[in-house]
Amino acid sequence: MAHVGYSGSAVVRAWIRIGRVLAVVALAMAMAVPVALVATGGARAGAGVIPHRADSGYRLLGGDGGVFAFGSPWVGSAASDPALCPPDTTDRSLPDGTCWSMATTPTDRGYWILNGYTGAVTAYGDAVSYGDRTSSNTGGADLWPTSIALVPTPSGHGYWMLDLGLSGLGSVRAFGDAVSYGDETTPAPPVAHAGYPVGMVATATGLGYWIVDSDGGVFAYGDATFAGSMGGKPLAAGVVGIARSATGHGYWLAASDGGVFAFGDAAFGGSMAGSPLAAPVAGIAADPFGGGYWLVGTDGGVFALGGARFEGSMAGQSLARPVFAISAVSLGLT
């Protein structure tokens, strides 16, 4: 059952151009995608996938901070306070809202919502705020970085924040018990990048993480092991997210056209590439109990692949702002 929490200069242009890929680029792509199908799920099984356990689910996040919970508890929404994730700002055009990332606590009884513009973190349920980057937002607001992703530590007593700066490179800030293991700005001078950061996921130990760029390049830090990437290879659409396999020895990348790329021990369980979509794919989340995964579209449609169970979606329903993120829930896992 779904629990819905939704209320109804040159530098600036540079920010808009390299800013949030989902809020700007993906929606523009939707204009060119033939609308022949509404994303309503429909599991597609892959060979050798692990059977799904019934106690997992997912949450979706809208650009105004609205949270939609499926097979998981709903404990609050940033959409109830318009000041938390407002559309547009004085120096950047962000009409689809400013909240593009959320992270779930290890108990699954809480979550954090990240404002990509200010870097503010809002906690719900048993989530505790360990700080954010608002106090370091110095200089003109048009020079602030854009926060792309929030990733919790295994203990839930901290998190990493992935930021995109004017350089187009990803930098990582650590809060609470999170430790920084490096980012795209190191070593100095940094290695040239063809894309810009769109996602991040931690290793099973929490002693490292991977960052993925829009061109499919993957960068491993700490104890994260590089298992391959799409960097330097032709892509039909840009990559929008990354999800880790249950063992931590592999990962999936998802592209905005629904394409999925599997590396390491992450088993390919299908994709939506080549299928007409009502809206571009915005993110990916791995089923914590098996080898499957979910894709989410900006219209709130969810595709369950590789044995992951379809719990519901917002496809076909009126949304105040597009959906930009999906976060997996593993009730009973901890």
Residue 9 has pLDDT above 70, yes or no: no
How confident is the prediction for the chain on average, in pLDDT?
Answer: 85
The alpha-helical segments, DSSP class H, found in 84-128 are none
Handedness of CA 311, 315, 316, 321 (dihedral sign): positive
User: Which residues contact residue 140 at a Cβ distance below 8 angstroms, ignoring those fewer than 6 apart?
Assistant: 11, 91
DSSP state of 48: T
pLDDT of 134: 96
Paired tokens of 333: 């896992």
pLDDT of 331: 58
Average pLDDT over residues 201-206: 96
CATH code assigned at 264: 2.120.10.30
Of 91-100, 121-130, 259-268, the one with minimum mean pLDDT is 91-100
Residue 196 has pLDDT above 60, yes or no: yes
pTM for this one? 0.85
Residue 30 has pLDDT above 80, yes or no: no
Find the domain containing 253 and state its range: 2-8+10-330
pLDDT > 90: percent of the chain: 73
Return phi, psi of residue 59, to 5°: -125, 145
Residue 56 has pLDDT above 90, yes or no: no
pLDDT of 285: 98
- Residue type at position 139: G
Provide the number of structural domains found in the chain. 1
Helix, strand, coil distribution of the chain in percent, nearest 5: 10, 35, 60
Tell me the per-residue pLDDT of 130-164, one tens digit each, with 9 for 90 and over. Answer: 999 999 998 889 899 999 999 999 999 999 999 99
